[in-house]
Chain A
Amino acid sequence: MSDTLPVVHTGTANLASVFAALRRAGVTPQDTLDAVVIEHAPRLVLPGVGAFGAAMQNLHEADLIEPLRRRLRAGRATFAICLGMQILCASSEETPGIEGLGLFDLPVTRFRNTPRIPQFGWAPVEVSPTTQGILCDGYAYFAHSYRLIEQPQGWRCAISEYGGPFVAALEKDGIVACQFHPELSGEWGHELICRWLEHTHND
């Protein structure tokens, strides 16, 4: 009997890879649009692929924006993936004029001065400060055209480089947000998911 883990059904997202990765990590993922679960569940996964505006629109239509904001303000354990991390920010160049969830009062912007857009593939990430935590150095799989550049204050930060440094992942207490796809980052990604599950167990 394994724990059930709610995963926000963001609509645009292809959840199969996230679900398979969570099963390999020993939990049973369950997609949900239930506002109570999404606000109060001890742990939550916020996945996302597709466009910033479409994702926020879907959350808006499901009346999930305020429950998610309250959850994040309360600091409940949350694992945000790819676009899931971007919508934690204030805004994105991808969809100007649309407000994000605003956990980070910072804008997401498009890559500049890079040979190829989107960035597809594996890139090294480095964490600072190097104190113990859920995130660690390694190679992560990225698929994105937009990214966060500024580091929010008070968060442990993983940095990667593409046309200059950008934020690959953030961590504080039980909240982890990754620009990369841990579910597609091989053994390293699997271990990251397992560490988050261990860290947030019985929180």
Chain B
Amino acid sequence: MATRRIIPCLDVSHGRVVKGVKFQGLRDAGCPVELSARYQEQGADEIVILDVSATPEGRGNQLDTVRKVREVLSIPLTVGGGIRKIEDASALLQAGADKVSMNTAAVFDPALLSAIAERFGRQCTVLAIDAAAKIGMEGWEVVVRSGTQRVGRDAIEWGKEGEERGAGEILLTSFDRDGTRSGYDLSQLRAFSQAVKLPIIASGGAHSPEHLLEALDAGADAVLAASIFHDGDWTVDALKVFLLSRGVEVRPPHTTQARLSTTTKNTDSSTHTTEGSQA
């Protein structure tokens, strides 16, 4: 069974990482290539690059960024932002993305999602849903254009439609939690993971290792986070050591494998949860 994934996310505008990267040791903290390589070394399971440029001109560097990141990256790369037509997806995949993520354009043109899934396969097609709590009602609704517009669509129904249309994964961002550092929206994650069969990537609100653990317990297959890594307080491998210690199956980074095999030898094996005993 696939292990749970830890996915650092880079927000990129005009070819540069926005949202401050504070950890030490990078020559250029705004360089998406250097930062991707660093997270890969730390044991990241995938990288997501979201182009948050407000204008098409800002995205001019997107393909160039993807090409350069691909040369150094031997783990999966998902790219989103500004995909409006099948040619946009095709160009990103040819440049080196393994998956493309669609959000606003899919909401207004659901056939685009079907077309991309049909042409490139389900494994390439990620549906990003920004979901906000409904006002005065239970449940969540879809918001688009960076949260500025509510479209009156039930988020779970949209997730189910996306599944039928051929999406391979759902990148679920809690609009209410994003940027709050107060943890993922767990009730939203539980509801989604019961309603759809697709793997769900939880996004929005992560600020501590416990937040990641809670989201995985709530049914997320993967957790996406930005600031927890960019701030430099936690590396991906340190987070994985934490998750392994709580019995979550993750791909151990090289350093972790060494550490775990040493500790397992020296201590009572019943106190340790390793990949093998969980499988």
Give the interface size bracket for B toward A.
35 or more
Whether, in the assembled complex, B22 has its beta carbon less than 8 Å from a beta carbon of chain A, the answer is no
Contact A123 B121 (CB under 8 A): no
Complex Cα distance, B122 from A39, in Å, reads: 30
Which single residue of chain A is at the shortest CB-CB distance from B200?
A116
Contact B98 A14 (CB under 8 A): yes
- Contact (A122, B95) CB under 8 Å given A117-B197, A186-B74, A190-B74: no
Whether, in the assembled complex, A199 has its beta carbon less than 8 Å from a beta carbon of chain B, the answer is no
Q: Which among A49, A142, A163, A186 has the greatest number of chain B C-beta atoms within 10 A?
A: A186
Complex Cα distance, B71 from A139, in Å, reads: 21
Which single residue of chain B is at the shortest CB-CB distance from A145?
B122
Whether, in the assembled complex, A50 has its beta carbon less than 8 Å from a beta carbon of chain B, the answer is yes
Complex Cα distance, B73 from A4, in Å, reads: 21
Number of contacting residues on A, CB 8 A?
A: 39
Contact A16 B45 (CB under 8 A): no
Q: How many A-B contacts at CB < 8 Å in the complex?
A: 104
Whether, in the assembled complex, B70 has its beta carbon less than 8 Å from a beta carbon of chain A, the answer is yes
Contact of A120 among B95, B96, B221, B252 (CB under 8 A): B221
Listed stretches B1-9, B208-216, B226-234, B259-267; interface member: B1-9
Contact A120 B169 (CB under 8 A): yes
B106-122: contact bitstring with A at CB < 8 Å (1 yes, 0 no)? 00000000000000111
Contact B123 A118 (CB under 8 A): yes
Contact B2 A184 (CB under 8 A): no
The 7 closest A-B pairs by CB, nearest first: A121-B2, A16-B96, A143-B123, A122-B251, A50-B121, A139-B251, A14-B93
Chain A residues proximal to chain B, CB less than 8 Å: 12, 14, 16-17, 20-21, 23-24, 49-51, 114-124, 139, 141-145, 161-163, 181, 183-187, 189-190
Sampled A-B contacts (21; CB under 8 Å)? A14-B93, A14-B98, A14-B120, A16-B70, A17-B70, A20-B73, A49-B120, A118-B122, A118-B199, A120-B221, A121-B3, A121-B5, A122-B45, A124-B275, A139-B252, A141-B76, A163-B1, A183-B74, A184-B74, A184-B75, A187-B74
